[in-house]
């Protein structure tokens, strides 16, 4: 009995040096969401004039969210020939400088105002709040059966001139604004 | 096994050295390795990643001022356990022993028996602790295991919040919100012990705010192994079905409705039951105990502000257990609870609540077992208040509170506790607590007449309940330390010293003559009294370690000493709790391994020390599970339980009472699950 106990302690001691950042039972959902946001860039086509504009691809985070910190991990990476930049967005006027806007769930009460401000621009809106897609957002994360899932509302995306690949639509839950 | 002080000292020294090493090792870097790995996965792989949204929950548990342990849904799935009682083996310090295939003795921190009276068990806030004999009928405790969110196990007293009978521990079985169980699955399997089982569940959203699920399950389980030449008769089967509906009425208020129905047969060999007052007068026979129950619960939760919320819950529970020809009872429970939390000042968070429970019981008597009156209403009214005082923000807190209640058995009861919690940072938690908890009398201790045996004469030895029986009470001193050197490694240590008073004892009274029922006979009465007391102490230790993304290990260890004494003047021939009923040491090691090609390989070893009193030998149990999920919709697994031997005993004769022991056998089963 004692031997087992000591053996266990020694066994554990061996692993001291390597501690990846992970918790038990699964990966944090916001991390998986961040990875999805990164992935989405490959499955969505922005209008050509926007694609040509600059060699930077900007993701803005509106409202206080740890998504900013997570996405910073990807900052400077090259995706589809452009370099990723991650910015917090403080006011509505700055929204239009981005390609993707992640709207923090803390801003739920201002959602209509935000979507209004984005009207007419080719910006992909992403969030994880209740009824986001239903209220005119484009991609909304949720969790079912311990896995990250997302809803897509294709209509506002189409209006914004964004083309969402059928592969992405196939694995999403398609929501239509009533 | 003997584990002397010197050995213990060595273990502690090692443990301390280990702590020093850990303490001086650098904290993990900020560079997020996990995220950079995730971004290279394909869309489909990302969709298949299991996530946890329990950051907040985990934090709450890490900073809890009690010995709490959580069994997750994944733990249950990968353990291969098919019953909730068996799943509790995973908790360090829980004692789980089969008596026969459908009867268990389960408790934490000692004094175990079939009617281990000091462990409160709840399913989604509905108590399944039975006031009839003070204990839990584990064959009735079940849900669709796949829909369990988690099982929270608190070792140690919880009377301040949960009220009476949360003396040695509290178990909360919490099922998932129906919005998280969308879609359907069917699983089915069979094996040598698990003769056949199947579960069905389907969940859907009614609209944006309402969701529901329905489920049904059935199992049939084989008899265990023969013991002392008795042919076993403990096969069992049951059907269970139910629903849950969750409605988010608004952003700040939600309603839950849920209910279950079950019906089953738990076989047993009833031993030495009195069937006649002419010597020898006892008989042993096989019987099928019919279990039958239905419950309905509704809960309303309202968030008033960020720092204030309240909850109102009502449930009805009908439990019927037909153990003819010895006894049959029906228990109808009506329970209403209210709870409210708010900030009194910036530094004081108050939680208070009100509750009332009414239980109507009714029995059918036999010569062996009688209740008087045959039926009556029992009640319990209570209120609690708890104040969580911040002494140093984010660092030191003091939690003071008490439950005050009134019941028809003993009148007024109070259960205060004080807890001190020190959380210097996110890596360490230190806590200490002093609490009082009571175990209120059972209907049996109050009013039973159990004719135990017939001697020549004829003379009948009978156990007789008395209205004088008081609550058993506990004063518990606890301390604990949790340490998380990285998010991959976790330690939890708790120590306790429990002092019990007024424990159940059976005291002889003056013999008297009875003429009816005939033949005329002398009665040798043993009255249920409170003339025993004692102490228990020990520790529980738990390590979780995730060396790789695909490998998780956990290990637990516990040590328990029990010392009980009869009070001066007592002439008791027996007590409900006794020394030597509990293993002095237990340990377990579990491994969950993800293999390539979507295979999973899981192993668990459990060591349980001998039970001195009954000369039940120590045993090691080995479980293996091989799982494979070829696609997201299919799951196949093979499980071997008790690989180490073909048969072994887990309980002693005395703890069973009127029931034949059987031996746990090796079990092998296969299972297939299809999701749609």
pLDDT value of residue B502: 96
Output the six-digit token pair for B63: 């900073």
Q: Which one is predicted more confidently, B137 or B580? A: B137
User: Can you tell me which residue has the tokens 């370099």?
Assistant: A83
pLDDT value of residue B527: 95
Does the structure show a pLDDT above 70 at B595? yes
Bridge partner list, B237: B220, B265
User: Is A7 within the bounds of a domain?
Assistant: no
For the residues B507-532, what does the mean pLDDT come to? 93
Number of separate domains in chain B: 1
Chain A residues whose CB is inside 8 A of the B54 CB are: 25
B249 contacts chain A (CB < 8 A)? no
Whether ipTM exceeds 0.85: no
Bridge partner list, B396: B392, B422
Please choose, from the candidates B76, B78, B80, B112, the residue with its C-alpha nearest in 3D space to the C-alpha of residue B93. B112
**Cis ω on the peptide bond leading into residue B517 (within 30° of 0)?**
yes
Sign of CA dihedral B39, B44, B45, B47: positive
pLDDT value of residue B282: 87
Does the structure show a pLDDT above 90 at B61? no
Side-chain half-sphere of B461: how many Cα atoms within 13 Å? 13
Q: Which one is predicted more confidently, B247 or B516? A: B247
Helix (H, G, I), strand (E, B) or coil at B337: strand
Chain B residues whose CB is inside 8 A of the A145 CB are: 180-183
pLDDT value of residue A143: 86
Domain residue limits at A77: 28-174
- The DSSP letter of residue B179 is G
pLDDT value of residue B33: 62
Give the C-alpha separation, B664 to B606, whole Å: 14
pLDDT value of residue B24: 41
Phi and psi angles of residue A50, each rounded to the nearest 5 degrees, phi first: -75, -40
B22 contacts chain A (CB < 8 A)? yes
Interface mutation vs chain B, best among A7, A11, A19, most B CBs within 10 Å: A19
C-beta neighbour count of B667 within 10 angstroms: 20
User: Is B199 within the bounds of a domain?
Assistant: yes
Helices (H), B89-187: 159-162
In this complex, do B34 and A148 lie within 8 Å of one another by their Cβ atoms?
no
pLDDT tens for B243-276 read 999 999 988 899 999 999 999 999 998 888 888 9
User: Is A6 within the bounds of a domain?
Assistant: no
Does the structure show a pLDDT above 80 at A23? no
pLDDT tens for A99-115 read 999 999 888 888 999 99
Domain residue limits at B379: 56-675
pLDDT tens for B531-540 read 999 999 999 9
Does the structure show a pLDDT above 50 at B29? no
Give, in order, the Cα–Cα distances in Å from B420 to each of A115, B432, B539.
48, 5, 19
Does the structure show a pLDDT above 60 at B27? no
Give the C-alpha separation, B164 to B120, whole Å: 8
Give the C-alpha separation, B631 to B629, whole Å: 5
User: Can you tell me which residue has the tokens 């809106």?
Assistant: A125
In this complex, do B25 and A12 lie within 8 Å of one another by their Cβ atoms?
no
Output the six-digit token pair for A27: 């990966």
DSSP result, B303-336: EEETTEEEEEEEEEEEEEEEETTTEEEEEEEEEE
Please choose, from the candidates B326, B325, B298, B323, the residue with its C-alpha nearest in 3D space to the C-alpha of residue B312. B298
User: Is A50 within the bounds of a domain?
Assistant: yes
Angle, alpha carbons B577-B107-B130 (nearest 5°): 85
In this complex, do A23 and B549 lie within 8 Å of one another by their Cβ atoms?
no
User: Is B30 within the bounds of a domain?
Assistant: no
For the residues B437-450, what does the mean pLDDT come to? 95
Angle, alpha carbons B279-B281-B284 (nearest 5°): 145
User: Is A9 within the bounds of a domain?
Assistant: no
Give the C-alpha separation, B262 to B532, whole Å: 38
Interface mutation vs chain A, best among B26, B27, B30, B32, most A CBs within 10 Å: B32
Q: How many helices (H) and strands (E) does chain B have?
A: 8, 37
User: Is A77 within the bounds of a domain?
Assistant: yes
CB contact residues (below 8 A), chain B span 584-643, against chain A: 585, 587, 589, 607
Chain B residues whose CB is inside 8 A of the A76 CB are: none
Q: How confident is the model at residue B233 (pLDDT cuts 50, 70, 90)?
A: very high
Three-class SS of B258-311: EEEEEEEEEEEEEEEEECCCCCCCEEEEEEEEEEEEEEEEEEEEEEEECCEEEE
Helices (H), B362-486: 443-447
Does the structure show a pLDDT above 90 at B229? no
Query: Considering chain B, what is the average pLDDT of its residues?
Result: 90
B354 close to B316: Cβ distance less than 8 angstroms = no
Q: How confident is the model at residue B370 (pLDDT cuts 50, 70, 90)?
A: very high
What is the helix (H) or strand (E) element at residue B11, kind and residue range? helix B5-24
Q: How confident is the model at residue A30 (pLDDT cuts 50, 70, 90)?
A: confident
**Helices B5-24 and A2-13 sit at what angle, rounded to 10 degrees?**
10
User: Is B11 within the bounds of a domain?
Assistant: no
Give, in order, the Cα–Cα distances in Å from B450 to each of B215, B287, B526.
40, 19, 10
User: Is A11 within the bounds of a domain?
Assistant: no
Burial of A87 per CB tally in 10 Å (0-12, 13-18, 19+): middle
Helix (H, G, I), strand (E, B) or coil at B9: helix
CB contact residues (below 8 A), chain B span 541-560, against chain A: 543-547, 549, 552, 555, 557
Please choose, from the candidates B204, B203, B198, the residue with its C-alpha nearest in 3D space to the C-alpha of residue B216. B198
Largest separation between any pair of C-alpha atoms in chain B: 86
User: Is B18 within the bounds of a domain?
Assistant: no
Does the structure show a pLDDT above 60 at A14? no
Please choose, from the candidates A26, A37, A10, the residue with its C-alpha nearest in 3D space to the C-alpha of residue A168. A37
Does the structure show a pLDDT above 70 at B7? no
In this complex, do B11 and A1 lie within 8 Å of one another by their Cβ atoms?
no
Sign of CA dihedral B78, B82, B84, B88: negative
Cα-Cα end-to-end distance for chain B = 50
For the residues B28-48, what does the mean pLDDT come to? 73
Give the C-alpha separation, A20 to B487, whole Å: 8
Q: How confident is the model at residue A1 (pLDDT cuts 50, 70, 90)?
A: low
Those residues with Cβ within 8 angstroms of residue B495's Cβ, 6 or more apart along the chain or in another chain:
B478, B479, B480, B537, B538, B539
Give the C-alpha separation, B621 to B648, whole Å: 10
Give the C-alpha separation, A138 to A32, whole Å: 18
Number of separate domains in chain A: 1
In this complex, do A24 and B546 lie within 8 Å of one another by their Cβ atoms?
yes
Strand pairing category for B521-548 and B512-514 = antiparallel
The nearest CA of chain B is from the CA of A122 a distance in Å of 23
Burial of A17 per CB tally in 10 Å (0-12, 13-18, 19+): exposed
Give the C-alpha separation, B91 to B75, whole Å: 11
Q: How confident is the model at residue B632 (pLDDT cuts 50, 70, 90)?
A: confident
Strands (E), B140-252: 148-155, 169-175, 183-191, 194-205, 210-221, 236-250
Cα-Cα end-to-end distance for chain A = 65
C-beta neighbour count of A74 within 10 angstroms: 21
For the residues B466-484, what does the mean pLDDT come to? 95
Give the C-alpha separation, B420 to B388, whole Å: 10
Give the C-alpha separation, B138 to B146, whole Å: 18
Does the structure show a pLDDT above 70 at B103? yes
pLDDT value of residue B238: 97
For the residues B122-131, what does the mean pLDDT come to? 95
Q: How confident is the model at residue B14 (pLDDT cuts 50, 70, 90)?
A: low
pLDDT value of residue A106: 84
Burial B330-353, CB ≥16 within 10 A → b, else e: bbebebebbbbbeeeeeeebbbbb
For the residues B94-108, what does the mean pLDDT come to? 95
Give the C-alpha separation, A109 to B251, whole Å: 11
pLDDT tens for A32-78 read 999 999 999 999 999 887 777 788 899 999 988 888 888 988 888 88
Give me the percent of chain B exceeding a pLDDT of 70: 93
Helix (H, G, I), strand (E, B) or coil at B442: coil
B614 close to B653: Cβ distance less than 8 angstroms = yes
B45 contacts chain A (CB < 8 A)? no
CATH number of the domain enclosing B581: 2.40.170.20
User: Is A47 within the bounds of a domain?
Assistant: yes
Phi and psi angles of residue A121, each rounded to the nearest 5 degrees, phi first: -115, 160
Those residues with Cβ within 8 angstroms of residue B187's Cβ, 6 or more apart along the chain or in another chain:
B146, B198, B199, B635, B671, B672, B673, B674
In this complex, do B43 and A34 lie within 8 Å of one another by their Cβ atoms?
no
Give me the percent of chain B exceeding a pLDDT of 90: 74
Helix (H, G, I), strand (E, B) or coil at B49: coil
Output the six-digit token pair for B473: 């009470």
B72 close to B146: Cβ distance less than 8 angstroms = no
For the residues A137-146, what does the mean pLDDT come to? 88
Does the structure show a pLDDT above 50 at A16? no
- The DSSP letter of residue A68 is H
Side-chain half-sphere of B254: how many Cα atoms within 13 Å? 15
pLDDT value of residue B586: 97
Bridge partner list, B638: B626, B670
User: Is B47 within the bounds of a domain?
Assistant: no
Side-chain half-sphere of B279: how many Cα atoms within 13 Å? 9
Q: CA dihedral defined by B75, B77, B78, B81, rounded to 10 degrees?
A: 90
Output the six-digit token pair for B635: 């799951």
CATH number of the domain enclosing A73: 3.40.50
User: Is B51 within the bounds of a domain?
Assistant: no
pLDDT value of residue B52: 64
B38 contacts chain A (CB < 8 A)? yes
pLDDT value of residue B654: 64
C-beta neighbour count of A166 within 10 angstroms: 8
């Amino acid at each position: 009995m004692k031997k087992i106990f000591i053996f266990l302690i020694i066994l554990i001691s061996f692993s001291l040096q390597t501690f990846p950042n992970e918790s038990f039972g699964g990966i944090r959902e916001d991390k998986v969401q961040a990875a999805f946001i990164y992935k989405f860039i490959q499955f969505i086509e922005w209008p050509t004039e926007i694609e040509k504009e600059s060699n930077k691809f900007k993701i803005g985070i509106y409202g206080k969210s740890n998504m900013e910190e997570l996405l910073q991990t990807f900052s400077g990476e090259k995706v589809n020939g452009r370099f990723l930049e991650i910015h917090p967005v403080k006011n509505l006027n700055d929204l239009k400088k981005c390609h993707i806007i992640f709207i923090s769930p803390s801003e739920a009460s201002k959602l209509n105002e935000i979507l209004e401000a984005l009207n007419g621009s080719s910006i992909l809106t992403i969030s994880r709040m209740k009824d986001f897609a239903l209220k005119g957002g484009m991609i909304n994360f949720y969790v079912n059966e311990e896995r990250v899932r997302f809803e897509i509302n294709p209509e506002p995306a189409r209006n914004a001139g964004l083309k969402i690949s059928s592969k992405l639509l196939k694995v999403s839950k398609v929501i239509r604004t009533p | 096994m003997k584990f002397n002080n010197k050995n213990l000292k060595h273990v502690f020294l090692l443990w301390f050295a280990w702590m020093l090493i850990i303490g001086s090792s650098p904290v993990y870097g900020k560079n997020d390795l996990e995220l950079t790995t995730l971004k290279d996965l394909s869309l489909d792989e990302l969709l298949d990643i299991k996530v946890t949204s329990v950051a907040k929950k985990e934090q709450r548990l890490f900073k809890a001022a009690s010995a709490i342990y959580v069994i997750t849904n994944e733990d249950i799935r990968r353990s291969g356990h098919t019953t909730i009682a068996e799943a509790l083996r995973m908790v360090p310090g829980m004692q789980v022993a089969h008596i026969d295939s459908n009867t268990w003795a389960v408790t934490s921190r000692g004094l175990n028996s079939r009617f281990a009276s000091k462990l409160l068990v709840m399913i989604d806030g509905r108590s399944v602790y039975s006031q009839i004999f003070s204990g839990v009928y584990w064959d009735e405790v079940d849900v669709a295991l796949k829909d369990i969110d988690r099982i929270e196990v608190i070792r140690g007293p919880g009377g301040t919040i949960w009220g009476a009978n949360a003396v040695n521990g509290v178990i909360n079985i919490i099922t998932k919100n129906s919005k998280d169980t969308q879609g359907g699955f069917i699983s089915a399997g069979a094996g040598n012990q698990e003769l056949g089982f199947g579960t069905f569940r389907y969940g859907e959203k009614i609209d944006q705010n309402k969701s529901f699920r329905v489920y049904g399950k059935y199992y049939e389980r084989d008899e265990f192994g023969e013991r002392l030449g008795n042919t076993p008769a403990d096969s069992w089967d049951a059907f269970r079905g139910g629903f849950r509906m969750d409605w988010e009425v608004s952003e700040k208020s939600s309603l839950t409705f849920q209910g279950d129905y079950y019906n089953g047969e738990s076989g047993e060999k009833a031993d030495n039951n009195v069937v006649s007052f002419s010597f020898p007068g006892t008989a042993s026979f096989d019987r099928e105990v019919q279990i039958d129950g239905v419950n309905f619960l509704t809960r309303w939760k309202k968030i008033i502000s960020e720092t204030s919320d309240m909850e109102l819950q009502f449930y009805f529970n009908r439990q019927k257990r037909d153990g003819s020809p010895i006894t049959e009872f029906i228990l109808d429970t009506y329970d209403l609870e209210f709870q409210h939390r708010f900030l009194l000042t910036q530094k004081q968070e108050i939680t208070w609540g009100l509750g009332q429970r009414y239980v109507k019981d009714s029995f059918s008597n036999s010569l062996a077992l009688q209740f008087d009156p045959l039926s009556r209403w029992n009640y319990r009214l209570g209120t609690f208040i708890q104040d969580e005082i911040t002494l140093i923000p984010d660092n030191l807190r003091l939690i003071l509170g008490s439950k005050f209640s009134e019941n028809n058995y003993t009148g007024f009861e109070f259960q205060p506790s004080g807890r001190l919690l020190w959380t210097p940072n996110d890596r360490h938690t230190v806590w200490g607590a002093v609490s009082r908890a009571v175990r209120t009398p059972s209907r049996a201790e109050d009013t039973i007449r159990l004719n135990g045996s017939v001697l020549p004469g004829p003379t009948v030895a009978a156990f007789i309940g008395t209205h004088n029986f008081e609550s058993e009470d506990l004063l518990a001193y606890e301390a604990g330390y949790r340490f998380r050197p990285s998010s991959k490694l976790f330690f939890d240590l708790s120590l306790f010293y429990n002092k019990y008073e007024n424990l159940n004892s059976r005291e002889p009274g003056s013999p008297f003559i009875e003429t009816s029922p005939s033949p005329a006979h002398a009665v040798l009465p043993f009255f249920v009294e409170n003339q025993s007391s004692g102490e228990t102490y020990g520790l529980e230790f738990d390590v979780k370690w995730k060396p790789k993304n695909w490998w998780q290990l956990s290990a637990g260890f516990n040590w328990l000493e029990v010392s009980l004494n009869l009070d001066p003047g007592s002439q008791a021939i027996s007590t409900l709790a006794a020394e030597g009923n509990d293993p002095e040491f237990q340990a377990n090691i579990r491994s969950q391994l993800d293999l390539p090609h979507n295979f999973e390989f899981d192993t668990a070893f459990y060591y349980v020390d001998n039970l001195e009193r009954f000369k039940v030998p120590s045993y090691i149990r080995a479980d293996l599970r091989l799982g494979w999920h070829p696609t997201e919709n299919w799951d196949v697994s093979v499980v071997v339980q008790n690989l180490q031997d073909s048969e072994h005993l887990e309980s002693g004769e005395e703890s069973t009472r009127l029931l034949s022991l059987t031996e746990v056998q090796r079990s092998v089963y296969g299972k297939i699950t299809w999701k749609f």
